[in-house]
Amino acid sequence: MRRLPPPLNGPGLILLADVTSDIPRSGKTIHRISGQVAAPAAGLAIYRSDDGNGYYLFGCDSEWEVVTDTWHPTIEEAKSQAEFEYPGIAEHWYKPA
């Protein structure tokens, strides 16, 4: 079983996807951290917000530390954003064990 750091080790985690070399970054969205362009995600996670009112799409590094996030009112919109940023990711979602 994969060990995930907070917040991904919480009850709101719904789906994970590894961003492999066959899933290119579209370049249609640019995430910035302290003014610097963030590196492409190594993994994506969809997490239900703690209050149950929406979903976060987390971009994670190779250790599953959350680096970027976007909020969406529905899980479908979170998945759509993931597909917009990483075309083909839809086929790679899996439920955490």
Q: Is residue 8 part of a domain?
A: no
Within a domain: residue 2? no
Regions of the chain with pLDDT less than 50:
1
Enclosing domain of residue 60: 13-92
62 falls within a domain: yes
Report yes or no on 97 lying in a domain: no
Question: Residue 3 domain-assigned?
Answer: no
pLDDT at 1: 45
Q: What is the pTM of this model?
A: 0.93
**Is 5 inside a domain boundary?**
no
Specify if 33 maps to a domain: yes
Rounded to a whole number of angstroms, the distance between the first and last alpha carbons of the chain is 6
| SS3 (DSSP) at 53 | coil
Structural domains counted in the chain: 1
Indicate whether 31 belongs to any domain: yes
Q: What pLDDT is attached to residue 2?
A: 64
